[in-house]
Amino acid sequence: MTTARRAGTVSAAALTGLAAALVLAHSVAPVWAADLGLDLWNLPAVRADAAAADEEAAAVQARQDRVFLEIQMGEHLAERLAAGTLTLAAAVDRLEPSLRRRTGFGCVCAHQYQAPTFRHGVARYAINRAERALADDPARWAEVGPRLEAEYAALR
């Protein structure tokens, strides 16, 4: 029984000593204490910063999730393009809204794909995805590629 009381007394003394050391450090060298994060009086600001960081992390995670879903949709549509169950124009109609919202995709269309319009850039993106889907089957791509290029040429 006395051992438990002694442990509690030691814990209380240690906490009191720690609190006294923090108060002394803040009163003797406030800048140093703040630099080390020992200024517990600034706790509301630290909590506000942490909450803002949490909100920003959630927003970044939501954007990442959206991009991953868009990539999966592109892969699915590319497989359907390769299989011939979806036309290039229909794939572009489905991809264009999400790619229009994707930051930087317009620059990719203009630079990488040398596309005359955004719609043509989306079509090039879809064709490249279909080509990647058939990377392990060059004979099948030899059939699919010309069909998609003909559809690209007719795209409005």
Alpha carbons 27 and 22: distance in angstroms, whole number: 9
* Shared domain check, 136 and 119: yes
* Mean pLDDT within 12-24: 78
* Shared domain check, 54 and 13: no
* Shared domain check, 76 and 22: no
* Shared domain check, 28 and 102: no
* Shared domain check, 112 and 64: yes
pLDDT range class, residue 41, cuts 50, 70, 90: low
* Shared domain check, 50 and 24: no
pLDDT, tens digit (0-9, with 9 covering 90-100), for 44-97 = 787 888 999 999 999 999 989 988 998 899 999 999 999 999 999 999 999 999
Containing structural domain, residue 68:
42-154
The answer to whether 126 and 91 have CB atoms below 8 angstroms apart is yes
* Shared domain check, 51 and 34: no
SS3 104: coil
Copy the structure tokens of residue 15.
């906490």
* Shared domain check, 54 and 24: no
Average pLDDT, the chain: 86
* Shared domain check, 91 and 21: no
Q: What's the whole-model pTM score?
A: 0.64
Q: In this structure, what are the phi and psi dihedrals at residue 11, rounded to the nearest 5 degrees?
A: -65, -45
* Shared domain check, 125 and 51: yes
* Shared domain check, 15 and 81: no
* Shared domain check, 31 and 47: no
